[in-house]
Structure formats: C-alpha cells, structure tokens
Copies of this chain bind each other. A is one copy, B any other.
Amino acid sequence: MHRIDCLQYCNWSEKIFRQMREGGVDAVHVTIAYHEMFREMVANVEQWNGWFERHSNLIFAGRTGDDVRQARSEGRTAIFFGFQNPSPIEDDIGLVEICHMLGARFMQLTYNNQSLLATGCYESEDTGITRMGRAVIAEMNRVGLVIDMSHSAERSTLDAIEVSSRPIAITHANPSFWHPARRNKSDDVLKALGESGGMLGFSLYPHHLKDGTNCTLDSFCEMIARTAELMGVSQIGIGSDLCQDQPDSVVEWMRVGRWTKDIDYGEGSAANAGFPPMPSWFQDNRHFDAIAAGLHKQGFSQADVAGIMGDNWLNFYDASFGPAE
C-alpha cells in the first residue's frame, strides 16, 4: 500500500514537505523544468539538492521503485524529477542520458506547442512524432526516461504510444468524455495507453475537472470508475498537478515561457488569468485520504483503491526507470 502523486509543481517549502508526510505520501513526481534549457534545469537540481540536504528528515532524491518502498519504511517522501518540456535536452540527444544521470525520470515530448520532438495540444496542426522525436524516444527507452504526453496533441500521443518500445505515461490529465478540455484525452488515446501497459494520472487541476473548482468528489470518483472500465484498473493513478502556494506569475511562465511576447492564457482567460482555486476536498498533500474514501464509496475494492492511490504507479516505476533489458 504505497501512496504516490505523479505530478506536482508547488512553491516548495518545509511546510509542503511536512504536509506530504502528514498525508502519508511516499513519492511525488515533481516538475523541475517547464521551459528551462539544460543549464537552467541543472540549477533547479542544485536547488533540490539543497532541500534534500536541509530537509533530509522529510524528503530524499528518488531514483527507483525501491526508493518508494524505502521512503515508506523510513517515513519520508521520495522526490522524482520530471520535465514538462524537452527543452533541457536542447538539440542534443546525448543530454537524454545526462538528464537521467541527474535523476530525471519523466519527460514530456511537448508542452502545448510544437517541439523538436512532437506536437502540443494547442497547435492547430498535429504532425506527429518528428525525426528527432523518434531518435529521442529510442534513447529514452534505452536509459529509462519515461515519455510523458500529458500536454501533447492526439496524433502525437497515439504515435508515441506506438513508437515507444516501453509503456508511456500521461502523468496528469483526465478523460475528455467527462470534461472536454483541450488538455484532456480521448477514448482512443486512453484505450491505446491502457492496452500498451501505459499509465494515466488523474489531475485535480480545476481546468481539467468537470465544473472546475466546484467539481464534486463523487463526480471525480465516478469518472475514475468509468476510466477504469476503459483502460483497466491497474493502469490508472493520481497526478494531481498541485501547484500549491504559487503566485500567478508562475502560471504565466508556464504558459508563455520565452516563446512569445504576447500573453497566452492557456486554459484560462483574460478574465480568469491566474491559478484557479482547488476543489474544497483537495487543497494539498494532506487530502489524499478523501480521494481514497471517495473511491471506496464508488465501490472499488480495497486492492483497487490501493492500486489507484499508488501501487499502480509503483509497478510502473519498477518497470520503467532502469535501462532497457
């Protein structure tokens, strides 16, 4: 029974690390790059190394599935690094392995826009995986860096599932049958993902939720039950997309980076440009029990709830983070 959140990007602090412990969270996949180039991403690893040193009683650097088990037995939280954009590898395929050596375990091939590797979900044309994209997927497969298509477009995502020799992940998104946001995923994608052994992490970010901030826990858990039928109950987990304590300048950085001089509101709007308020029943790391209770109420077995709350991700971590066999 391990508890894993497969996506957070908080304004990190001792308070939040303590809340991870209060919530019994054994592992968190944290974003360390949105638009950062290699050297900037390294500076973010340096910052995390400082937190690991200062808060070693609460957190440590996670590299393998066994680190999640160690975290549980020691009462700490294992932190796994990921990128929401391939910008840290720049145009250099050799940086894939370097990033893995530095602890990266997930990398999105695109963040909303066209990248060197694939097409993002906000482009009007989706040309699928590029030539470099195929080469980088093979290298990611080789070293054990997981392909994450959370912000990618439909065809690119289906391509990635097919091109990758190892299962991929959509760490933080929901099904579009429940809430047809541009970031949410079609039945076709979810079926192909499940059949290939891939994982979906359910997002708690209000723009991905039916009724947004007012989404009910019952509606969220009912959606999980329907997705389990579509994908298989062992292929789903949580990827909350929690952005706790971030100022609104950060959501602007996430959306705009340095790629435009205009404002892009992404999933928001001029009238609602900032971070949306989280649902009342999921405000921070202390509230995962509420989701587990909601899943029980929905009729999931004890084992299935344990799977969704972390054990499914743990199986995936075990299979995904080492070199290809």
Q: In the complex, which residues of chain B have a beta carbon less than 8 angstroms from the beta carbon of A103? A: 101
Q: In the complex, which residues of chain B have a beta carbon less than 8 angstroms from the beta carbon of A43? A: 94
The answer to whether A45 has its CB under 8 Å from any CB of chain B is: yes
The reply to whether B101 and A46 form a contact with Cβ atoms under 8 Å apart is no
Smallest beta-carbon distance A149→chain B, Å: 26
The answer to whether A38 has its CB under 8 Å from any CB of chain B is: yes
The answer to whether A214 has its CB under 8 Å from any CB of chain B is: no
The answer to whether A49 has its CB under 8 Å from any CB of chain B is: yes
The answer to whether A92 has its CB under 8 Å from any CB of chain B is: yes
The answer to whether A97 has its CB under 8 Å from any CB of chain B is: yes
The answer to whether A95 has its CB under 8 Å from any CB of chain B is: yes
Mark A116-140 against chain B: 1 for CB-CB distance below 8 A, else 0.
0000000000000000000000000
The reply to whether A92 and B38 form a contact with Cβ atoms under 8 Å apart is no
The answer to whether A163 has its CB under 8 Å from any CB of chain B is: no
User: 8 Å CB contacts to B: which residues of A79-109?
Assistant: 92, 94-95, 97-98, 101-103
The answer to whether A50 has its CB under 8 Å from any CB of chain B is: yes
Cα distance A42–B94 in the bound complex, in angstroms:
9
Smallest beta-carbon distance A15→chain B, Å: 23
Residues of A near any B CB (own CB < 8 A): 38-39, 42-43, 45-47, 49-50, 92, 94-95, 97-98, 101-103
Other A-B pairs beyond A42-B95, A49-B98, A50-B94, 11, CB < 8 Å: A38-B42, A39-B39, A45-B98, A46-B94, A47-B94, A49-B97, A98-B102, A101-B101, A101-B102, A101-B103, A102-B102
